[in-house]
Amino acid sequence: MSIARPTLRRRTAGALSLALAVTGATAVGAAPAHAADPVEVQVLATNDFHGRIQANGSEAGAAVLAGAVQQLRGENPNTVFAAAGDLIGASTFESFIQQDKPTIDALNAAGLDVSAVGNHELDQGYDDLMNRVLAPFDAETNPYGGAQWQYVAANLKMRATGEDAVPASWLKDFGDVQVGFVGGVTEELEALVSPAGIADVEVRGIVETTNEEAAALKAEGADVVVLLVHEGAESTECAAMPTADNAFTSIVNDVSADVDAIVSGHTHLAYDCAFPVEEWAGEAVTERPVVSAGQYGYNLNQLVWSVDPATGEVAGVETAVLPLAGAYPADADVANLVADAVADAEELGAEPLGEIGGAFQRARLASGSENRGGESTLGNLVAEVQRWATEAPESGAAQIAFMNPGGLRAEMVGSGTGAFPRTLTYKQAAAVQPFANTLVNMDLTGEQIKAVLEQQWQRDKDGNVPTRPFLRLGASAGFSSTFDATRPEGDRITGMWLDGEPIDQAASYSVTVNSFLAAGGDNFRAFADGSNARDTGKVDLTAFVDYMAAHTADEPLAVDASQRAVGVSFPADAPEAYEPGATVAFDVSSWSMSAPGDVTDPELTVSLGDRVLGTAPVTTTAGTDPDDRIGTASVQVTLPDDVPAGEAALTLSGAATGTEVTVPIVVTEPAKATPTLTVDAPETVVAWLQRPRIDVAVETPDGTPTGKVTATVKGRVADTDALDERGDARLRVGPFAPGTVEVELRYSGDDTTEAATTTTTIRVKSLWEVVFGSWS
């Protein structure tokens, strides 16, 4: 991509005088600035290499990467080979098993000059970066170090002093032209590496520290300043970057015009974009390149500036994304280095661990890419391994274990492409967990476990939603939970169970996680609040090797396809309690795993105790959002008429996957029918000394009631009669003195019918009226 608009960079008088003094020239009689031939300065950049030293399809491998850099540098000696971080860490087995020494050696040979610090450079902590990676190689004291390039990060400071944790910038002098590089690492660093490993380091704002350092570089005489930043765009759509409302948007928009280009990484996407930037003096508008080479050595970013060496004016910049595989020759020395590393790794990794009965995979989106927001068979397996490895009393007697999805770096599918079972080797297991975390056991209350699960909906320490807004934890066997993502933040976990028993919020449970999570990594800060935490010293990969030895001696390791977390969402108008015979309806999500070939249920079964109430079809469609909603169903079942009042539990189960979760409900006493009491005559006239009969009919909409009717006069019971088979009662009251008497008739009610009351009037004639009639 050619950016034709000029970038005006005028040297200050001091900088020009310095340049003249260094070259032995004088301003007097000097040729006009425009007479000098422009100098072309080339920056070649990579990012997120992650130890991909071997060629593998689009992954060109370290030898071709080195060959490409050398060829392009040969065409233009004014070249800097730079990177935007994550060169090591999360590497393939060939590099990982040798602590990334093959990658360090290959990049040294390729002539890497400078790189931003990435989060994976700090996987083993700040001390490891400084005293192993960057320390000189020594066969006895530091056999796995020796990086010869400069790491830069302006926003990393020592917490105690505020001094740079690594150099903030680096300047390359090509004689008449100087190119400066400012480094930056993602501000989410503390959530991406073990906080304990960077406890002495403070992560500051990228924009603020970059602008300060870029201004200093310009004052020092830099003609071109490049920001190498381990943070990136969420998509390759250039137009979306300035408006995406994320960390990278702020970098694109707010980094000052002193920065001439932004070379980025972290999100593993390749893009070649440019955005208008106003000059600091308002004299011109230029377009600033914003680029990334993607991942794993697929490409190189190429940026070539044309600079007037006398004035420092930058006439323009050409940018390109150069695919590497098949386009450049392999460097022979690096090819030999890689071959040796592969041979060593093959010997170390060929050891078989046992057989697996199926593929253990990470969650997937519809695009096929990894989804860290989805539950997976692999995540649950690793969690169960870690629980098993620490279940002995001396290791904490773990009851539950959790696994972060970012700690899983490859599928576990075994050797070959044939039918299962397949043999799993040490190399294949190591590719899944390359971080060498130790297992930490702690005590968490039920309330703290809920807090951990609530933090799956992510917020960083400052309350911001990070690049990955949702991370689903893998969970060990026996632990299950339900959630409702529509509920308010902090109240989305609706139930938790261990071996079928509800988790007690006040009780304490023994929980194991890796050392990364134990320190609050991936924004799961509630783990850091656990009590009695102790590092067991067991390494995650070693625990897995031991698990395979113990569980595959007689038969292959079977895939557990059951979900640990299931979404259950009731409609907004759902009652707080249900009557016997009522319909219970709710929606289910997260019933299915999402990787190709994962076992799924065509339907789920709803039971109450040992009674099946019904089934619901499950729809499993690959998702496009980074959450855990794959596998949906709409449940609608009718409760039995004889279900007792009180707390009840519906059980959802899947025959194929083995998924089983509980949905608690409350059953209330059935509503009783409202009866109608009808008196045969609203007013009864009788003679003095007679006992009038009152006929009462009790009717309900649901059938013939039972029970009694009681007649009461002035608070005293006059008569009681049981209803006959027609619901009728006959009562005698009196005798009464002449006059009018009001009689209350009360129906007692029964198991299905409410009590009810009505009144009737008795008029009693005197003897005179009986003999002579009315006075009138």
pLDDT, tens digit, 9 for 90 and up, residues 725-739: 999 999 999 999 999
What Rg, from alpha-carbon coordinates, does the chain have? 39
pLDDT at 8 over 80: no
Query: pLDDT value at position 14?
Result: 34
Q: How far is Cα 53 from Cα 674, in angstroms, rounded to an integer?
A: 81
What sign does the CA torsion over 375, 381, 382, 385 have?
Answer: positive
Among 71, 620, 109, smallest CA distance to 335 is for: 109
pLDDT at 265 over 80: yes
Q: What is the mean pLDDT of residues 628-657?
A: 96
Q: What SS3 class is residue 66?
A: helix
Task: State whether 737 and 617 are in the same domain.
Answer: no
The last residue of one of the domains, among 551, 575, 609, is 551
CA angle centred on 300, ends 294 and 303, rounded to 5° = 115
Among 629, 635, 633, 631, smallest CA distance to 620 is for: 631
Q: How far is Cα 510 from Cα 536, in angstroms, rounded to an integer?
A: 13
**185 to each of 115, 188, 342, 464, how far by Cα in Å?**
10, 8, 31, 17
Which amino acid would we find at residue 178?
A: Q
pLDDT at 10 over 90: no
> Who has greater pLDDT, 746 or 704?
746
Q: 423 — phi, psi (to 5°)?
A: -80, 135
- Measured from the Cβ of residue 622, the count of other Cβ atoms closer than 10 Å reads 15
Identify the DSSP state of 88. S
- Measured from the Cβ of residue 669, the count of other Cβ atoms closer than 10 Å reads 12
Residue 25 lies in a domain: no
pLDDT band with cut points at 50, 70 and 90 for residue 285: low
- Measured from the Cβ of residue 57, the count of other Cβ atoms closer than 10 Å reads 8
Residue 720 lies in a domain: yes
pLDDT at 33 over 80: no
Residue 197 lies in a domain: yes
> Which regions of 137-205 does DSSP assign to beta strands (E)?
150-152, 156-158, 169-173, 178-185, 201-203
Model pTM score = 0.64
Task: Give percent of the chain with pLDDT exceeding 70.
Answer: 94
Q: What SS3 class is residue 189?
A: helix
Q: What is the mean pLDDT of residues 391-398?
A: 92
- Count Cβ atoms within 10 A of the Cβ of residue 327 and give its class: 0-12 exposed, 13-18 middle, 19 or more buried: middle
Q: What is the mean pLDDT of residues 421-437?
A: 92
Task: State whether 198 and 264 are in the same domain.
Answer: yes
| Bridge partners, residue 743, by sequence | 760
Query: pLDDT value at position 588?
Result: 98
Identify the DSSP state of 393. G
Q: What is the pLDDT of residues 486-522, one digit of tens each?
A: 999 999 999 999 999 999 999 999 999 998 999 899 9
> Which pair of structure tokens corresponds to residue 724?
């006959």
Q: What is the pLDDT of residues 357-372, one digit of tens each?
A: 999 999 999 999 999 9
Query: pLDDT value at position 35?
Result: 53
pLDDT band with cut points at 50, 70 and 90 for residue 113: very high
Residue 17 lies in a domain: no
> Who has greater pLDDT, 4 or 616?
616
> Which pair of structure tokens corresponds to residue 389?
């490895």
> Which pair of structure tokens corresponds to residue 530?
């656990």
Task: State whether 602 and 723 are in the same domain.
Answer: no
| Bridge partners, residue 514, by sequence | 439
The last residue of one of the domains, among 625, 650, 667, is 667
Task: State whether 191 and 331 are in the same domain.
Answer: yes
Residue 30 lies in a domain: no
Residue 342 lies in a domain: no
Which CATH number belongs to the domain containing residue 729 in this structure?
2.60.40.10
- Measured from the Cβ of residue 207, the count of other Cβ atoms closer than 10 Å reads 22
CA angle centred on 218, ends 217 and 222, rounded to 5° = 80
Task: State whether 391 and 266 are in the same domain.
Answer: no
- Count Cβ atoms within 10 A of the Cβ of residue 27 and give its class: 0-12 exposed, 13-18 middle, 19 or more buried: exposed
Helix intervals (H) in 1-100: 13-23, 62-75, 93-96
Among 213-222, 475-484, 619-628, which is the least confidently predicted range?
Answer: 619-628
Query: pLDDT value at position 538?
Result: 84
Among 270-284, 331-345, 671-685, which is the least confidently predicted range?
Answer: 270-284
Among 500, 496, 527, 522, smallest CA distance to 511 is for: 527
Q: What SS3 class is residue 544?
A: helix
Q: What is the pLDDT of residues 58-87, one digit of tens each?
A: 999 999 999 999 999 999 999 999 999 999
Which CATH number belongs to the domain containing residue 451 in this structure?
3.90.780.10
Task: State whether 727 and 581 are in the same domain.
Answer: no
| Bridge partners, residue 233, by sequence | none
Q: 564 — phi, psi (to 5°)?
A: -90, -30
pLDDT at 56 over 60: yes
Task: State whether 423 and 545 are in the same domain.
Answer: yes
Task: State whether 121 and 228 are in the same domain.
Answer: yes
Q: What is the pLDDT of residues 430-489, one digit of tens each?
A: 999 988 788 999 999 999 999 999 999 999 989 999 989 999 999 999 999 999 999 999
- Measured from the Cβ of residue 456, the count of other Cβ atoms closer than 10 Å reads 23
Task: State whether 528 and 418 are in the same domain.
Answer: yes
Q: What is the DSSP string of 650-719?
A: EEEE-TTT--EEEEEEEE-PPPPBPPEEEES-SEEEEETT---EEEEEEEBTTB---SEEEEEETTEEEE
Query: pLDDT value at position 92?
Result: 82
pLDDT at 686 over 90: no
Q: Average model confidence (pLDDT) for the chain?
A: 91
Task: State whether 660 and 764 are in the same domain.
Answer: no
Q: What is the pLDDT of residues 194-209, one digit of tens each?
A: 888 999 999 999 999 9
Identify the DSSP state of 599. -
Give the burial string for 719-754 (b: 16+ CB within 10 Å, else e): bebebeeebbbebebbebebeebebbbbbbbbeebe
Q: Give Cα 436 distance to the centre of its chain.
A: 22
Which CATH number belongs to the domain containing residue 650 in this structure?
2.60.40
**Residues 104, 75: contact at Cβ < 8 Å?**
no
Residue 722 lies in a domain: yes
Domain span at residue 589 reads 565-667
Among 143-157, 236-250, 269-283, 724-738, which is the least confidently predicted range?
Answer: 269-283
Report the side by side order of strands in the sheet with 285-293.
169-173, 178-185, 224-230, 261-264, 285-293, 270-278
Query: pLDDT value at position 13?
Result: 32
Among 271, 281, 282, smallest CA distance to 240 is for: 271
Residue 37 lies in a domain: no
CA angle centred on 466, ends 287 and 194, rounded to 5° = 115
Q: How far is Cα 515 from Cα 390, in angstroms, rounded to an integer?
A: 13
Q: How far is Cα 576 from Cα 719, in angstroms, rounded to an integer?
A: 42
**Residues 654, 602: contact at Cβ < 8 Å?**
no
pLDDT at 1 over 80: no
pLDDT band with cut points at 50, 70 and 90 for residue 536: confident
- Measured from the Cβ of residue 429, the count of other Cβ atoms closer than 10 Å reads 22
CA angle centred on 165, ends 159 and 171, rounded to 5° = 145
What sign does the CA torsion over 506, 509, 515, 517 have?
Answer: negative
Query: pLDDT value at position 281?
Result: 39
> Which regions of 207-284 does DSSP assign to beta strands (E)?
224-230, 261-264, 270-278
Task: State whether 488 and 413 are in the same domain.
Answer: yes
Task: State whether 466 and 370 are in the same domain.
Answer: yes
**Residues 299, 293: contact at Cβ < 8 Å?**
yes
- Measured from the Cβ of residue 89, the count of other Cβ atoms closer than 10 Å reads 25
Which CATH number belongs to the domain containing residue 257 in this structure?
3.60.21.10
| Bridge partners, residue 534, by sequence | 441
Q: Give Cα 620 distance to the centre of its chain.
A: 20
Query: pLDDT value at position 279?
Result: 55
Identify the DSSP state of 327. T
Which amino acid would we find at residue 394?
A: E
| Bridge partners, residue 507, by sequence | none
Domain count, the chain: 4
